[in-house]
Amino acid sequence: MKISPNFAYRIALIGFFGLFTLLMLWNTILTPASNLPVALMLVVTVTPLLLPMRGFLDKRLKSCAWLAYISLIYFVHGCVEAYVNASTRPYALLEILLSMMIFFGPTFFIRLSSSRT
């Protein structure tokens, strides 16, 4: 059974928009920070995802690679948050899952796209 590059890209898209939505909800509605402004938290957490977004949506391989690298930051954040804070553990586990989708989706997309040419 051969996996198409579009399947891997769809996994990455689901992970990308899922993580984007989770971060927006986590910092605004679910558990807003009490000692920092919400706008500052959104800028710090969401901006790294926005940097490669245009190229990722255009299926540029270099942007997909950068998105995979950036997803590791969210993976580490989710692991630390799941270990430290029991009240936000479900959100942290979801962040880990979505960041893994963002890492493996573009990685397989790049691998499968480059083998077709």
Residues 59, 55: Cα–Cα separation, whole Å: 6
pTM above threshold 0.75: yes
Instruction: Give the Å distances, CA to CA, from 44 to 10, 37, 38.
Output: 26, 11, 10
Q: Is the pLDDT of residue 107 over 70?
A: yes
Q: Is the pLDDT of residue 94 over 80?
A: yes
Convert the pLDDT of each residue in 18-41 to its tens digit.
999 999 999 999 988 889 999 999
Return the SS3 of 36. Answer: coil
Convert the pLDDT of each residue in 47-88 to its tens digit.
999 999 999 999 999 999 999 999 999 999 999 999 999 999
